Chains A and B, each alone.
Chain A
Amino acid sequence: MKEPERIETCDVAVIGGGPAGLAAALGARRAGAGEVLLIEREKALGGILNQCIHDGFGLFLYKETISGPEYAERLIEDVAREPIKVETGAMVLDLSPDRLLRVNSRGGYRLIRAGAVILAMGCRERTRDMIEIPGTRPAGVFTAGSAQNLVNLQNLRIGHSAVILGSGDIGLIMARRLVFEGVAVKGVFEILPWASGLERNVRQCLMDFAIPLELRSTVVEIRGRDRVESVITAQVDDSLAPVAGTERVVPCDTLLLSVGLIPENELSKRAGVELSPLTGGAVVDESLMTSVAGVFSCGNVLHIHDVADWASFEGFAAGERAARYAAGERAAGRTVRVAAGPAVRYALPQLVTAGREGVEWSFRVTRPLRNVQIVVRGTATGQVFARKKFTRLLPSELQKIAVRTAIEEDIEVGCHE
């Protein structure tokens, strides 16, 4: 006999228990959501924070600098004080547009219908093949985040001498971490003319340890049959193509890749959520709601953040809005579109409800800039809604700009001299 399908329910389901998801569960609860379910696929809450044993977390949320696990711990303690139902070791395998979740855990395989869903699955790392590094396929090539897990959480020695390709924050942090563990770090190679990671990480993780950062250069070949034996590096030209004659053999047994993060939107796609090619995350409105009604997004699954605090702030906001949605509140009215203007890679949210006041945008620039103004203005009328001066802007930094007044037309967030 086939037993009848049992479907459980909750008001707000949060998928992912990292810095964004923890905050989202708290935000939902504090905004009055009844049953909040926080689903985390790892055995413990905290997400990637658990393997980030360095400090630098909490500057904005807690006004002090603490380590990743400590930052997670504070949020986890707050969650524990609320009647939030936490499920760890549970992975959401499917999400339908009508918010039916298929969840698998050692405790059972279940179907859950949620009044609102918050996507907080974080991101994954770009791999060797996505950047197409030619050569052999030996052991010893790790993405920086995987290496961080193996070193920090599993206490494993991943090599004796390493080259790091890409200057993302995890790569920079891992360069220093490997030096602490007695690994010879031969250098960090970055294809762009500037570092992808935060300036403070370049300073504290590379310069303080005399690890060379070679800009405008990349790894053009991996050598070694069983284990990495060396990599060939080369300088690149303005079109990022390797320059013949600049090749150099760098002996090493390990190659770490820190070549970019990608919002992990597999579930979002299953639910039919519209994604932005600029962020790799969902297209959202000012309430962080995606194109699928009742499905919200925050943290690195929405767009890649530079610091965890901002992911958490986004989580609090998404939680609050999701709680209101689950309670029946609906935004009314037409939406206006938000475009990225000159030298701005993206501005988020990409949609705003017409007439809404006090909207704040996150944005990133395409290249390092000095003494510029970021201007929010109407694409049709040219009306300036906000203008903010920056002495310096870096692509590695997520920046903010707010508009106090109501917006009634399509706008553009752009950079002007």
Chain B
Amino acid sequence: MGGMPGSIYDVAVIGGGVVGCAVLRELARYDLKLLLLEKEADLAEGISKGNSGVIHAGFNVPARSLKARTNVAGLGLIYPLASTLGVPHRKTGKLVVALADEDRPRLEELKAQGDKSGVPGLEIVDAAAIRRLEPLARGRWALYSPHSGIISPYELTIALAECAWQNGAEVLLEAPVEAVGTDDGMFLLTTPKGTFTARRVVNCAGLFSDEVARLAGIDDYRIFPYRGEYLISDKDCGLRLGMPVYPVPTKDDPGLGIHATPTLEGHIILGPSAEPVADKRDQASTREVAARLKAEAGRLMPELAGLSFIHSYTGIRPKLVDPAGRDRFADFVVEESRTRPGWISLVGIESPGLTAAPALAEMVVAMIGTDMGLTMKAEFRPDLPVRRRFAAADDDDRRARVAGDADWGEMVCRCEHVTRAEVVSALRNPFGARTLDAVKRRTRCGMGRCQGGFCTPRIVEILQDEGVPVDRITKRGGGSRLFYGRLKD
């Protein structure tokens, strides 16, 4: 936790998504007093949890764009970064599949675009190669990208923040910036948890980056929310998808098309749709889209037609493209305000923002470094203590853990085999995130096929043991309370 209203921060980062947390960690290499302000009750509560979790290679975006440059640079950074931080990830490769011969020119275009951007290893492959690379996929031709992969986006976000925290950065949750003032060249950020003074501000507020900029008097941006719905299959669906499989994107699709992506645990994710919505918080899922996702997946891979699903989720893209306008492409915006020097905004960081995040972070540090002397910390620690899940440990390791601490012997989650030790450790995270979803993202409790049916009552007990009063137990903070007191005293 952190956040001292009295003190002056060198840099305040607004927004605890993957971009904000990457920026925070990159800045934590230097002798700077840092603060991250997040409006929600946990990190990664916005765009960073509602996406496909794909590491993009960079061929989907126009060459020379900032999107392409930060994507290709991020591709080189994200694998070693994930390894250093111990974040689950895998270089799987990826296929963009053309079902008919007439779609081949689109693949050639994508390949040419990727080659121009310096995307490594792209090749057009034929039907036989498709089946060899991914037995579930089929098509006439495909673009194969060997360096694409998958990663747990919220685990990356949390790990980035924990690493920054370990190196002295402070993180404050449930601290939405409600007003921005200036005083003697410094920014005063007012939140319900106090007003914080910072020399520099990095606005990584994602969907709300336009509104946060406006608080500082910068009226340069307008975010258009595009909703994307997803479905997740059971791990035991009987199908093992090896790599993400995408359709050939149509020119007018605001997304990359409805695709199938494996998760690191073996689920298959279908989605997303791409639909402009009026409300940035409108994360409702719809019957129509669920049906469309299934139909599209079946068209792409017939075996997916009968898949059963255990969960659905929705993400909102922060687009700079007006659905009513003619432009279909808008680049990432990363700039320091001319009218408010010292205020840097990152706006429109949609796909491939997850892959690009480490590169965007380096970019921001370079911008800050040009007008602020940056001194490297002598003792920066880039990694995190190794935390191996009990479920992934072997017999000897398990035996030793339980012998050392009986909490490893108490199973909380039946489906994902999560122990009390892991739940307690998650609840004692440095940021004070103590919602059910915070536990879920850190331990996988509730992500299995019972979807929390069994473990929720257990976690509710542990939360109380850890000192959270019944009325403060929430799904994800705010008004998402689970209980209204006790029935009888």
Residues of A that sit less than 8 Å from B by CB: 2-3, 5, 41, 89, 91, 93, 102, 104-111, 124-125, 127-130, 132, 134-140, 142-143, 145-146, 149-151, 153-160, 181, 220-221, 223, 225-227, 264, 266, 269
Contact B479 A107 (CB under 8 A): no
What does the 1/0 interface line of B313-325 toward A look like (CB < 8 Å)?
1100000000000
B190 close to A (CB within 8 Å) = no
Contact A106 B312 (CB under 8 A): no
A2 to B484, CA, bound (A): 51
B410 to chain A, nearest CB (A): 6
Partner among A108, A140, A145 whose Cβ is within 8 Å of the Cβ of B453:
A145
A102 to chain B, nearest CB (A): 7
A142 to B398, CA, bound (A): 33
B180 to chain A, nearest CB (A): 26
Partner among B285, B409, B449, B486 whose Cβ is within 8 Å of the Cβ of A105:
B409
Contact A125 B402 (CB under 8 A): no
A3 to B397, CA, bound (A): 11
Residues of B within 8 A of A109 (CB): 395, 398-399, 401-403, 408-409
Contact A139 B399 (CB under 8 A): no
B99 close to A (CB within 8 Å) = no
B390 to chain A, nearest CB (A): 8
- The A/B interface has a contact count, at CB < 8 Å, of 145
B482 close to A (CB within 8 Å) = yes
A130 to B310, CA, bound (A): 6
Provide 12 A-B residue pairs closer than 8 Å at the C-beta atoms, listed in order of the A residue. Answer: A41-B414, A104-B411, A104-B419, A108-B402, A109-B401, A129-B312, A139-B475, A139-B476, A150-B456, A156-B483, A157-B484, A225-B479
Contact B309 A132 (CB under 8 A): yes
Residues of B within 8 A of A160 (CB): 484
- The answer to whether A138 and B475 touch (CB under 8 A), given A106-B410, A124-B450, is yes
Q: Which residue of chain A has its CB nearest to the CB of B461?
A: A154
Contact B480 A139 (CB under 8 A): yes
Residues of A within 8 A of B454 (CB): 124, 146
Q: Which residue of chain B has its CB nearest to the CB of A127?
A: B451
A124 to B401, CA, bound (A): 29
A225 to B45, CA, bound (A): 14
Q: Which residue of chain A has its CB nearest to the CB of B478?
A: A226
Closest 10 CB pairs of A and B: A226-B479, A139-B475, A106-B406, A106-B409, A139-B480, A91-B411, A226-B480, A127-B451, A157-B484, A149-B457
A140 to B484, CA, bound (A): 11
Contact B480 A146 (CB under 8 A): no
Partner among A5, A41, A143, A146 whose Cβ is within 8 Å of the Cβ of B411:
A41
- The answer to whether A159 and B484 touch (CB under 8 A), given A93-B417, A104-B409, A129-B309, is yes
A287 to chain B, nearest CB (A): 27
Partner among A2, A89, A138, A154 whose Cβ is within 8 Å of the Cβ of B460:
A154
What does the 1/0 interface line of B375-415 toward A look like (CB < 8 Å)?
00000000000000000000110110111001111110011
Residues of B within 8 A of A108 (CB): 399, 402-403, 409
Contact A129 B409 (CB under 8 A): no
Residues of B that sit less than 8 Å from A by CB: 236, 281, 283-287, 290, 308-314, 395-396, 398-399, 401-403, 406-411, 414-415, 417, 419, 449-454, 456-457, 460-461, 470, 474-476, 478-488
- The answer to whether A266 and B415 touch (CB under 8 A), given A2-B396, A129-B311, A156-B486, is yes
Residues of A within 8 A of B410 (CB): 89, 105-106
Contact A5 B309 (CB under 8 A): no
Most buried by B among A137, A138, A264: A137
Contact B460 A111 (CB under 8 A): no
A321 to B311, CA, bound (A): 39
A141 to chain B, nearest CB (A): 9
Contact A157 B453 (CB under 8 A): no
A230 to B211, CA, bound (A): 30
A113 to B97, CA, bound (A): 49
- The answer to whether A5 and B395 touch (CB under 8 A), given A146-B456, A156-B470, A157-B487, is yes
A326 to B310, CA, bound (A): 38
A151 to B145, CA, bound (A): 52
12 more contacts with CB within 8 A, not counting A109-B395, A156-B470, A264-B414, are: A41-B414, A89-B409, A93-B417, A108-B399, A109-B408, A111-B395, A128-B451, A134-B285, A136-B284, A138-B480, A139-B475, A155-B486
Contact A106 B470 (CB under 8 A): no
Q: Which residue of chain A has its CB nearest to the CB of B310?
A: A129
Residues of A within 8 A of B417 (CB): 93
A139 to B474, CA, bound (A): 7
A127 to B234, CA, bound (A): 12
A93 to B413, CA, bound (A): 11
Q: Which residue of chain A has its CB nearest to the CB of B232?
A: A129
Partner among B286, B395, B479 whose Cβ is within 8 Å of the Cβ of A134:
B286
A227 to B478, CA, bound (A): 10
A93 to B408, CA, bound (A): 13
Residues of B within 8 A of A223 (CB): 284
A278 to chain B, nearest CB (A): 16
- The answer to whether A157 and B485 touch (CB under 8 A), given A2-B396, A105-B409, is yes
Q: Which residue of chain A has its CB nearest to the CB of B234?
A: A130
Q: Which residue of chain A has its CB nearest to the CB of B285?
A: A134
Q: Which residue of chain A has its CB nearest to the CB of B407?
A: A106
Q: Which residue of chain A has its CB nearest to the CB of B289?
A: A134
A158 to B479, CA, bound (A): 14
Most buried by B among A105, A111, A129, A264: A129
Contact B482 A158 (CB under 8 A): yes
Residues of A within 8 A of B478 (CB): 226
